[in-house]
């Protein structure tokens, strides 16, 4: 097993797992380096939680965040009104297990997502407005001692791995 393994959002590696059926590849020399070193462990918590591709967009309601969902104070709802909280919590738990099983002490997760967002997430009104906060998976990983980084923080992650 490669030292310094990193759990990474599968969409950041270009896998078409996002709600819209697309990937969102992170094009950065460090990604290529880490791939070559066998450090990256791809995972999509939403798929692991049983959601399909494509799927309706989802947001955490009422401007709350992943900690609130995990504590039972908020729900994750789809644009169509469906409550997908259980799928998001299940996917987060599976992400944590996958990270532990693969020796990941760090995670590089797509920002803005109600699962993976670590700096900002959408506010629950489906109007494209973000606020500071994190998604369900990011919140669970952090609470369990896994350092979570957004793509804009890739250099900081690299510094921690040295």
Does the structure show a pLDDT above 80 at 5? yes
Mean pLDDT of the chain: 97
At residue 1, the pLDDT reads 54
At residue 39, the pLDDT reads 97
Break the chain down into helix, strand, coil percent, rounded to 5: 40, 20, 45
Mean pLDDT value of segment 148-158: 98
Contact 134, 70 (CB under 8 A): no
Does the structure show a pLDDT above 90 at 21? yes
Task: Look up the pTM and report it.
Answer: 0.97
Tens-digit pLDDT profile for residues 82-93: 999 999 999 999
What's the rounded Cα separation, in Å, for the pair 113 and 24?
12
| Interacting residues of 105 by C-beta distance below 8 A, sequence separation 6+ | 4, 5, 145, 146, 147
Lookup: tokens for 133? 């906060």
| Interacting residues of 132 by C-beta distance below 8 A, sequence separation 6+ | 119, 120
Tens-digit pLDDT profile for residues 44-56: 999 999 999 999 9
At residue 2, the pLDDT reads 64
């Amino acid at each position: 097993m490669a030292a310094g393994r990193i759990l990474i959002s599968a969409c950041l590696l270009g896998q078409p797992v996002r709600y819209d059926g697309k990937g969102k590849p992170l094009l950065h020399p460090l990604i290529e380096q880490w791939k070559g070193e066998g450090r990256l462990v791809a995972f999509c918590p939403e798929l692991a939680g049983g959601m399909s591709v494509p799927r309706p967009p989802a947001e955490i309601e009422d401007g709350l965040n992943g900690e609130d969902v995990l504590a039972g104070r908020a729900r994750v709802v789809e644009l169509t009104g469906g409550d997908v909280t259980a799928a998001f919590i299940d996917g987060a738990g599976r992400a944590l297990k996958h990270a532990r099983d693969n020796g990941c002490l760090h995670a590089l997760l797509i920002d803005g997502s109600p699962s993976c967002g670590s700096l900002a997430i959408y506010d629950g009104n489906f109007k494209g407005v973000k606020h500071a906060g994190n998604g369900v998976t990011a919140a669970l990983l952090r609470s369990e001692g896994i350092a979570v980084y957004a793509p804009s923080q890739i250099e900081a992650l690299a510094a921690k791995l040295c």
